[in-house]
């Protein structure tokens, strides 16, 4: 199924009920995307700054906040990894 980026072989391997469930969801997902696109167009054409701000807030809430962590490598970690992998320093 092109919509789900599935190969023909993968689709043939699906149980019949799963195939039809996925098929029904294609229309539902596309309709939801169309509704969002229509709302975006209406908000943009209205030019109402308050409506634009509200829509942006809703989209930001839907996206959520990613977790950002600082990564720090332990002292000597690279050398220990090289030893484990059997890599010689050149």
Q: Tens of pLDDT along 31-79?
A: 989 998 998 898 888 888 888 888 888 888 887 877 777 888 888 888 8
pLDDT at 1: 63
Distances (CA, A) of 72 to 44, 52, 80, 84: 43, 40, 15, 20
Whether the pLDDT of residue 90 is over 70: the answer is no
User: What is the radius of gyration, based on Cα positions, of the chain?
Assistant: 24
Q: Which two tokens stand for residue 3?
A: 């919509």
More confident residue, 65 or 80: 80
CB-based burial of residue 43 (10 Å sphere; 0-12 exposed, 13-18 middle, 19+ buried)? middle
Q: Which two tokens stand for residue 84?
A: 């484990």
């Amino acid at each position: 199924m092109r919509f789900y980026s599935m190969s023909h072989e993968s689709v043939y391997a699906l149980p019949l009920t799963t195939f039809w469930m996925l098929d029904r969801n294609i229309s539902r997902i596309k309709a939801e995307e169309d509704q969002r696109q229509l709302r975006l167009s209406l908000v943009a054409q209205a030019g109402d700054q308050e409506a634009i701000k509200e829509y942006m807030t809703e989209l930001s809430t839907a996206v959520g906040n990613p977790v950002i962590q600082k990564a720090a490598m332990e002292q000597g970690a690279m050398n220990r990894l090289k030893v484990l992998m059997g890599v010689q320093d050149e």
